[in-house]
A and B are shown apart, each in its own frame.
Chain A
Amino acid sequence: MTKPSFVYVTYIATTPEKVWQALVDTDVTRKYWADPTSDSPAHVNVSDWKTGSQWEHQRLDDARTVDMVGKVVESTPPRRLVITWARPKEARENSKHSRVTFDIEPQGGGLVRLTVTHEDLERDPQMFEGISNGWPKVLSNLKTLLETGRALPHSPLAA
């Protein structure tokens, strides 16, 4: 493993299976992979989640715009998911892919520790910036959804 660029950890009162489902099931992902303070649509991650398969980070707009692509490197439900991460135009350039690992570890006491490790981002400052703002939001939304069953409200005062 190279030295990670970012490591994010959150403890969620749920089961490893539910965390796994939240990562791979678009019906769950759409509820939390969004910025509640913005009107822009949520994202889902689409794949069959088999090792070697492609995955796409799709925006839930009419065109289903693909904002990110990559390959599934390792898929071990409900414990570990490793994917590569790249812009669609750089899909064929493996050297431009960064790498994301989701580790799901039961902690006892009904808690699950979810660790997201993002590697190989240093050569892409723009992606680095976007990623560092994005993961904390996504992870705390995910925690809220799994612990309360509710997605975060979409800016209630914007209307």
Chain B
Amino acid sequence: MVQHPWPAARDSRKEPASPARLLVIDRVFKALADPSRRHLLDLLHRENGQTLTALCEHMDMTRQAVTQHLQQLEEANLVAIVWQGREKLHYLNPVPLHEIHERWIEKFERSRLFALRELKKSLEGDDDDKT
């Protein structure tokens, strides 16, 4: 199993928004910012556990360029590696995507729902005043 060059995030236990932690999320967003890398994730979603050679068949670029994109996805923990004999298999790892969903998307969704509830409360409060 290949080890990830992962930044130390010792502080994150006490300080959820520490620089080390932000760095981790930065890598995920950076990795997702490139259409070729998103395409690689789509290919792995369609068929998980592919080799570099199999992935290259669907990519309009050199093998070396694909390797570099995969490396960046691996560093962002979006791709996990499993060695099967001498074959290096690439797996889509959706856990960081789920964390983004929780930290960002659901968070904003919650505040939107909260705003609606407050609006409803204040409108209903107005109704109460009239009656």
**A and B from one assembly?**
yes
Interface residues of A (CB under 8 A from B): 1, 3-11, 13-14, 37, 107-111, 113, 115, 117, 135-137, 139-140, 143-144, 147-148, 152, 156-157
Chain A residues in 8 Å Cβ range of B12: 13, 147
Asked whether A157 and B13 contact (CB < 8 A) given A4-B82, A7-B91, A136-B97, the answer is no
Of the candidate stretches B1-9, B30-38, B123-131, the one touching chain A is B1-9
- Interface size class of chain B, counting residues whose CB lies under 8 Å from the partner chain: 20 to 34
Interface residues of B (CB under 8 A from A): 1, 3-4, 6-10, 12-13, 16, 24, 48-49, 77, 80, 82, 84, 89, 91, 93-95, 97-99, 102, 106, 110, 113-114, 117
CB distance from B91 to the nearest CB of A (A): 4
- Beyond the given A140-B95, A148-B16, A157-B114, please list 20 additional residue pairs across the A-B interface where CB-CB is below 8 A: A5-B48, A6-B91, A7-B49, A7-B80, A7-B91, A7-B93, A8-B80, A9-B77, A11-B24, A13-B10, A109-B9, A110-B9, A110-B13, A111-B6, A111-B8, A137-B98, A143-B99, A156-B110, A157-B110, A157-B113
Most B CB atoms within 10 A — which of A117, A140, A148, A156? A140
Chain A residues in 8 Å Cβ range of B114: 157
Bound together, the chains give a CA A117 to CA B16 distance in angstroms of 27
Bound together, the chains give a CA A115 to CA B91 distance in angstroms of 12
Interface of A is mostly: mixed
CB distance from A1 to the nearest CB of B (A): 7
* 18 residue pairs from A and B, CB less than 8 Å apart: A5-B48, A8-B94, A9-B93, A11-B4, A11-B24, A13-B9, A13-B12, A109-B10, A110-B8, A111-B10, A115-B1, A135-B95, A136-B97, A137-B98, A143-B99, A144-B102, A156-B110, A157-B110
